[in-house]
Amino acid sequence: MNRREFLKRSLALAVGAGALALPGNLGKNLGAAAAGPVDLAAVKGGEAPEMFDRGISALGGIGRFVSKGQTVVVKPNIAWDVEEALGANTNPALVARIVKRCLEAGASKVYVFDHTCDLWKRSYARSGIEEAASRAGATVVPADQGNAYRKETIRGARTLKETRVHELVMKSDVFINVPVLKSHGGAGLTMAMKNLMGIVWDRGEMHSRGLHQCIADLSLLRKPDLNVVDAYRVMVRSGPRGTSARDVAVRKAQVLSTDIVAADAASAKIFGTEPGAVEYIRQATELKAGTMDLDRLRIERISL
């Protein structure tokens, strides 16, 4: 543990202790603070980058996930050629902050990419993510060419037993999944697990072979070391692309967890949907990809 990490962990403990003092959270957090980093951190009320800083502290600091010299993939949602205000893509300032923290923790390289739906060049540019991430020091790479995707076998999958996945996801030391919380015409909601469709070459196959089961299956392949669900701007209808800013509610929230199913369960609740009503969350739980039972998790709730 170096000095920076020590300070961060101290801060995390202080925050935890502060939360303990709040009467409403007393019972829920009693176990959490005692046993070090929590399973899930939920943050509300701040700007996206500062919510990340508070949340990651609760999870034990960035140093818990990224060590010196490691390569990192940060995978936001950059699917659409639309403005930030529509909430169709991940908050660019959040992506930039995560990149910055990874580099501060000593990452040798931080890659940012998404297999976009609209043309990649236009989506990368209009989302604001390319500029923000590059400025923070990331290597922003296109992911529109099939030759970067390698066939992988998914152990334990029921339907999607193998598929072609972007090589950087498999090769990198650390994989950080940074989706945006949105409504979704086909899947109901899109968050952490659904965001992994952007590391796959053939999305059409997932749609035609049973969308929910394939999303659940995919979560078994390369478990993200950290999931950060951006719920700052939440597209409440017309998702996942949206038609205008009126489809968006500014919720100012964020969910961080090492458990991709738990991250989705908590995000679904923030959206106003019971996790059990989202088929792929149920199926992923059956596959033991994580837990949707939030009561059994140690959760840190942070209000800014």
Partner 1 sequence: MLRGHGWHAPWMFAARVQVFPALLRWGVTILLFAGMALLAGRFYCSLLCPLGLFQEAVHGLGRRKLPGYRRGTPLRYLVLAAVILSMAAGSLALFNLLDPFAVFGRGSTQILKPLLVSANNLLASIPGEPSRILHHLPAAPVAGTAFFSTALFFCALGAWAFLRGRPFCDALCPVGTFLGLFSSSPLVSVRFDADACIGCRQCDQACPTCCLSSRDLRVEHDRCVLCLSCLDACRTGALRLGTPKGNEALQRRGLIRTAFGAAAALALSGIRNRWNSPALSGASAPGPAPVSPPGSFSHDNFTSRCIACSSCVNACPAGIIRPALSAWGFAGLFQPRLDYRFGYCQYECKACTEACPTGAIEPMSLEAKRRSQIGRARFEKQACIVVKNGTACGACAEHCPTQAAHMVPYGGSLSIPQVDTSLCIGCGACQYACPALPKAMTVSGLRYHGTARRPWEAEEGPVVDPLEEFPF
- Nearest-approach distance from CB 225 to partner 1, in angstroms: 21
Rounded to the nearest 5 percent, the helix, strand and coil shares of the chain are 45, 20, 35
Q: Report the residue from 11, 131, 139, 164 that binds partner 1 according to the rule CB under 8 A.
A: 139
Specify whether the CB–CB gap between 163 and 154 falls below 8 A: yes
Q: Report the residue from 141, 158, 170, 291 that binds partner 1 according to the rule CB under 8 A.
A: 141
- Give the E-state strand segments of 130-277 in sequence order: 139-140, 149-153, 162-166, 174-178, 180-184, 188-190, 226-235, 248-257
**C-alpha distances in Å from residue 83, one per residue of 112, 119, 178, 217:** 18, 14, 18, 31
The contacts of residue 229 (CB under 8 Å, 6+ apart) are 178, 179, 180, 181, 191, 192, 254, 255, 256, 263, 264, 266, 267
Q: By CB under 8 A, is residue 118 in contact with partner 1? A: yes
Q: What is the Cα–Cα distance from 5 to 61, expressed in whole angstroms?
A: 7
Q: Report the residue from 7, 69, 208, 288 that binds partner 1 according to the rule CB under 8 A.
A: 208
Q: Report the residue from 36, 106, 137, 142 that binds partner 1 according to the rule CB under 8 A.
A: 142
Residue span binding partner 1 (CB under 8 A) among the ranges 59-67, 97-105, 219-227, 244-252: 244-252
- Residue whose CB is less far from partner 1, 36 or 142: 142
Q: Report the residue from 119, 135, 161, 171 that binds partner 1 according to the rule CB under 8 A.
A: 119
- # of chain residues touching partner 1 (CB under 8 A): 65
Q: By CB under 8 A, is residue 81 in contact with partner 1? A: yes
- Nearest-approach distance from CB 99 to partner 1, in angstroms: 16
Q: Report the residue from 10, 17, 18, 45 that binds partner 1 according to the rule CB under 8 A.
A: 45
Specify whether the CB–CB gap between 110 and 137 falls below 8 A: yes
3-class DSSP state of 111: strand
Q: By CB under 8 A, is residue 223 in contact with partner 1? A: no
3-class DSSP state of 58: helix
Determine phi and psi for 57, rounding to 5 degrees: -60, -45
Q: By CB under 8 A, is residue 243 in contact with partner 1? A: yes
Q: By CB under 8 A, is residue 75 in contact with partner 1? A: no
List the one residue out of 91, 136, 76 whose CA is nearest residue 252. 91
Q: What residues make contact with partner 1 under the rule CB under 8 A?
A: 42, 44-45, 81-82, 85, 87, 111, 117-119, 121-122, 126, 139-142, 144-145, 147-148, 168, 184-188, 203-205, 207-213, 231, 233, 236, 238, 240-241, 243-253, 265-266, 269-270, 272, 277, 279, 294, 299, 301
